[in-house]
Amino acid sequence: MSELNEYNDFFLNLSEKLNSPSNDLKNLSVKSNICDAVANYPVLFGQAYYVIDYTTLSVSYQKGIKELLGYEEDEFNYQVLTNYFHPDDSERYTFIIKSIIEYFETNPTEVFEMECSIAVRLRKKDGSYFKALRQTTIIETNSENLMTKSFSILSDISHIKTNNSVEWNCTCKGQLISSLRTFIEKKHKKFFTLRELEILNFLKLGKKSRDIAEKLFLSKHTVDTHRRKMLAKSTCSNTVELLSFARSNAII
């Protein structure tokens, strides 16, 4: 629940910032032909797409949502978007979304110059979950090149992706991709607590919980509790996946 509140607060703050007097929302970089292209974008089987307006925190356009998620047009709104991901994925999902948006707030980009993909479990209207790939790009910015609208494609990938890990990738034009990855790697340095990092480094050396407990003057139960928390936060299933996650995100 705390991750959900953090997610909501983040976007409320973003909306307030975009609507502040210092941001001229009248001079939008998006052109009418871009809007037409979005409206005419084809929906393939097992796909849907939508546009989010961050100035009003609303879904301004959608297509294929009923077929994929079961929501009627007036039901699929911003409130649904803030909590339709699996609760076990919420901390990781929120971390990724916040990190990417925070980066582009300080490194403005033009429309269609970035694409972010996240694999996450999403909830349908009937309460069932499926593994989805969400691909998002910026389609509208204000006079300061801050994102005001994004276009997202949802694809059902449950037939090819069966694990529960939340995975992401981002592509950008020019040198943005390297600086983005550096930025998110720095954010990942604080993803685990200091105690969790201590235990993680022992795991990297092949140590067992009992050995780690002796080294850190803790009980084995406490070490195992920290390990379970790390697996949950990273959406990993075992220690091998956890160490791979830590290495790929430059945590260890």
Per residue in 137-191, pLDDT (tens digit) is 988 888 777 888 899 999 999 999 888 889 998 888 766 788 888 888 899 989 9
Q: For the domain with range 194-248, which CATH number is right: 3.30.450.40, 1.10.10.10, 1.10.150.250, 3.60.20.10?
A: 1.10.10.10
pLDDT for 139 equals: 86
Triad 137, 140, 142: Cα angle to 5°: 130
Triad 145, 49, 97: Cα angle to 5°: 50
pLDDT for 30 equals: 44
Helical pair 239-248 and 220-234, crossing angle rounded to 10 deg = 60
- Mean local confidence (pLDDT), 2-12: 60
- Mean local confidence (pLDDT), 119-138: 95
- Mean local confidence (pLDDT), 45-50: 93
- Mean local confidence (pLDDT), 226-248: 94
Class of domain 2-188: alpha beta
228: pLDDT strictly greater than 90:
yes
pTM: 0.80
The two tokens of residue 113 are: 């110059």
Helical pair 90-106 and 176-188, crossing angle rounded to 10 deg = 130
pLDDT for 21 equals: 53
Decide whether 2-188 matches 194-248 in CATH topology. no
Comparing CA positions, the residue from 151, 121, 155 lying closest to residue 45 is 155
The per-residue pLDDT of the chain, averaged, comes to: 85
- The ranges assigned to domains in the chain are 2-188, 194-248
Higher pLDDT, 68 or 21: 68
Pairing of strands 129-141, 114-123: antiparallel
138 alpha carbon, distance to own chain's centre: 15
3: pLDDT strictly greater than 70:
no
